[in-house]
A = this chain, B = another copy of it.
Amino acid sequence: VKSEAEAVAALLAELTMRGDVRVGIGDDAAVIGPDPGTLLAHDMIVENVHFRWSTHSAADIGHLCLAVNLSDIAAMGGQPTAAVVGIAGPLEQLGEIGLRHMYRAMDALAESAGCAIVGGDLSQAPVTVIGVTVIGVMPSGVAPVTRSGANIGDALCITGSLGRSAAGRALLDDPPRHPTPQMTALMDAHRRPTPRLSEGRLLAAGGATAMMDISDGLLIDAARLAAASGHRVVLDLDSLPVEPDVAAVARSRAARPDVFAASGGEDYELLVTLRPGLLGPLGDLVIQIGEVREGPTGLQVVRGTTPVSVHDRGWDHLRSPAG
């Protein structure tokens, strides 16, 4: 399906940038209007594509659909201010109680993020599709951090460990009879990701050169950052932060933990590039997993000094690069 995704990316890219659009299609969020500009992010989640009623509660889904959009604001270094929510689905089946769970979980997350749900739409549909748009602002004096600003010599870093969501999904696919608290935490990491809003703001204010959130997996997303920045990005699998519980799930599925973590997706950690001098002051926020080097534009994966050939998991849920 990759060619279709590429075709769609080309279609989106062809849409003209009119008016006062400072960052448009292709980054985590658009930036509109006079300096400092309004941030604008939109993502949809679809039943049986991004979530399943068999493994997600209505509250999980409410949390998830807002979280993925807040993550896009986090990836610019912004502060969300307001969200609108469109819910299409089988309303009789969702029921008033289901909708209440969904809205309240969404509202609790909005509150913790310092924004408000200010409107929306509700419609009958045979499957559940939830679209959320979040607007936000940049902290005073801080410019939005795009995917395209990485410079040669920058360190490639990540805000947390990888593969937790993929491990949680694997556990939800084949549920343990007696889940440990660690397993439950992984399943919750998949169902209720935490957008890295404060980390994003601190990294933007601290001088991050490029930033994006990891939604489709580190391998895909790091390749996008490399392409947007026009540089060679070297990713060292040996340096990936992978928790023992995640590694155990990966091995039980006959996967190498580092590849499992790098290709899993939906972690919503921030991938960021920093001048090496910033690794000290910002070292509590990030772990270095690679660097930006001279060479042909693109992602190069290594283990230590050995080049590695890995296959990404493909565009299996066909998100646009603007997501």
Chain A contact residues, CB within 8 Å of chain B: 1, 4, 7-8, 11-12, 14-21, 24-25, 27, 29-30, 32-33, 38, 40-47, 49-50, 81-82, 84-86, 88, 91-92, 96, 99-100, 103, 107, 110-111, 114-127, 129, 131, 133, 135, 137, 317-320, 322-323
Contacts and interface: CB of A to CB of B under 8 A. Distances in A.
B320 A122 contact: yes
Given A4-B91, A38-B135, A118 B81 contact: no
Given A8-B99, A20-B81, A30-B84, A42 B133 contact: yes
A24 B319 contact: no
Contact of A119 (B14, B29, B129): B29
B319 A116 contact: no
A250 B310 CA distance: 64
Nearest to A107: B15
A44 B86 contact: yes
Contacts of A44: 86, 88, 121, 123, 129, 131
Contacts of A96: 4, 7-8, 11
B86 A43 contact: yes
A121 to B, nearest CB: 5
A118 to B, nearest CB: 4
Given A84-B30, A107-B15, A111-B16, A91 B318 contact: yes
A266 B40 CA distance: 28
A103 B33 contact: no
26 contacts: A4-B92, A7-B96, A12-B103, A17-B116, A18-B110, A18-B116, A19-B82, A20-B81, A21-B82, A25-B119, A25-B120, A30-B119, A38-B38, A41-B84, A41-B119, A42-B85, A42-B120, A43-B121, A44-B88, A88-B131, A91-B318, A121-B322, A123-B319, A124-B317, A125-B129, A135-B135
A81 B21 CA distance: 9
9 smallest CB-CB distances across A and B, nearest first, come from A131-B131, A133-B133, A42-B84, A30-B118, A18-B116, A44-B86, A129-B129, A122-B320, A119-B322
A20 to B, nearest CB: 7
Nearest to A126: B127
A92 B318 CA distance: 11
B121 A42 contact: yes
Contacts of A111: 16, 18
A12 B120 contact: yes
A169 to B, nearest CB: 17
Contacts of A133: 40, 42, 84, 131, 133
Most buried by B among A18, A24, A114, A126: A18
Contacts of A110: 18
